[in-house]
Amino acid sequence: MISVGNTIPATPIVAINKNGEDNTTTTELFAGKKVVLFALPGAFTPTCSKSHLPGYVTLNDEFMEKGADMVACLSVNDSFVMSAWAKDQNAENITMLADGGAAFTKALGLDMDTGDFGGVRSKRYAMIIEDNNVKHLNVEAPKEFEVSKAETMLAIL
């Protein structure tokens, strides 16, 4: 599993924001930026839709005021699902990262197999990345939602 001080692995990723969709790599996307990245098991799932993403949507301006260049939400879903979820959640200021094949999630070592629920998914976590280096990482215990909350990460930033 990736840890503080490690460099973000270079993998393909689809970034979706208010300017559209961009097929890029993680290293290109995070280069020269301070990024608050949070990941969750799935778009349109209960905790993710009711609490996790909405917290970051609400506090996005405060993250920017504290020096973040980007707030990004990652899920092992395709870009169509992530785009629809962003619209549904009024998350136009959050960069949605579609990791459809879980390449980035697996490279981080933060994947989990949920079996028939959805297959390979991301663990719930949040990290602060500065110019492709992990500065802080909070990984949730199974079925927990505390250390990756927007309020927690804002206090750390």
Contact, 61 vs 34, CB < 8 A?
Answer: no
Cα 28 to chain centroid distance, Å, stands at 16
Q: What does pTM read for this prediction?
A: 0.95
Question: How many separate domains does the chain show?
Answer: 1
Q: Are strands 20-25 and 12-17 parallel, antiparallel or unpaired?
A: antiparallel
Residue 41: DSSP 8-state: S
Residue 132 lies in a domain: yes
The answer to the question of residue 6 being in a domain is no
What values do phi and psi take at 5, rounded to 5? 95, -15
Q: Is 73 marked active-site? A: no
> What are the pLDDT tens digits along the chain (157 aa)?
999 999 999 999 999 998 889 999 999 999 999 999 999 998 988 888 889 999 999 999 999 999 999 999 999 999 999 999 999 999 999 999 999 999 999 999 999 988 777 778 899 999 999 999 999 999 999 989 999 999 999 999 9
What are the structure tokens assigned to 20, written together?
A: 């559209």
Q: Which of 48, 57, 102, 129 is catalytic?
A: 48
| CATH number of the CATH domain containing 114 | 3.40.30.10
Residue 5 lies in a domain: no
